[in-house]
Structure 1
């Protein structure tokens, strides 16, 4: 028995804790005793008393689906679920469905059906109370604001929008298709209109790369100039990628695919050769003349880090330049 907890509160928990959600219990507890404990406090007290919520029955929560139900192929089951599947505890829905059709539904099956048909409930037995329209919560990408009671697309969260998107549209107009809104100072929670700039999505990676390299800007005008420069470079890259070129393997003319354009560097192999696992070797290194570290002859290297001439490599392909030089000196070679 929890120490320091009044007997009246313990008796009340034994009688009322199992019913409803934790939020229902907190509300009822506050109405009964005039103060509201935290969820953790209530959980700890209930656990020490050996109490748990009926909706948290481990047998039901751990139950797997007995069979896969394709609701579009089972109109009678679907009609029954539309009529009886919402606004009730999962356990009651599963028991009633089993009584009607002889199949036990899992918690996941019920949740997915409710989400797809807009039957989710956020009050009573359905979970925590619904957030009011205008409610804000901080996330990694900025501040989310609830703009509608329910999502228009099932299983989506389109009834929530980023606050800096709303602030941008109020000040500068609708966000163009394919554009993203970025903050000049890098803080998406700063919703000052002068701190928000819309840019093409493809330019965002180039801007983030500059930030990673330590490039900074002070004003919106400076940031817009950087965005314009990066957008121009992206456009030049796109234009170059559309130039028809010859494949270095088969000689056929080809243009880069949309996927190949993403990498920035120009490919020298056509899609057909790539699909057949034939790729051009390309130019490796600057091929400038250099001195062999073993024999001292001058040779044109084929790789940027090549230190031995082809003749020395052929004599000892698995040795490094230093190992081969030591061996030659030990054998008395010059």
Structure 2
């Protein structure tokens, strides 16, 4: 079924054209219906304005003033004229005193932000600004902090060597040792405890090898529970879910994993 086109008289269009200069869509619709005894919706009025290329002539930020229910035009003008050189808190107090209102700091802030109103303050020192303590050197206005750390002072909360903690990333035990930290240059660092214990007995692990737990328990860092395996073997054990297997199966799975890695290495050479 074809829709019936709503027609407007020249008088009605002129009313819309004139009224839209000072009213928003809602206010214009109400005024139009009251003037002509009609029942037009906001959507119909908006479509008519668009179809007849009727513009309000206001900038987007200025249009908000007519929609803002908390502030009248006089109040908006007051804010624009008095924000310069003041903070939001100061402006809020001044506004409420002037109009006997109870606007909050946040409401005033939102209003000025939405409309791009600035106070003109930058927060920077102006060129040529003189510091309050300029020229006071040697007059004893300031003294050194008597509680400052002195050379050689050890903070009371410094952890001693041998302190242990659980790593939040991988769950391994870390121990504090007297070894230079390669990242910070500090003379002490935290290191995986199982690696440290292995290195104390056997020296650093060769390239491509890692220290792993025979029973899969990260908290048992005794030397008899540690083994040196290749990264390929470790990867294969993880695929099998080695650490969660029953204890009686682990020796067989470990032997099988090593055999598979050796077989793959030989096949790769062929």
TM range (shorter): 0.3 to 0.5
Using the size of structure 2 for normalisation, the TM-score is: 0.35
Using the size of structure 1 for normalisation, the TM-score is: 0.29
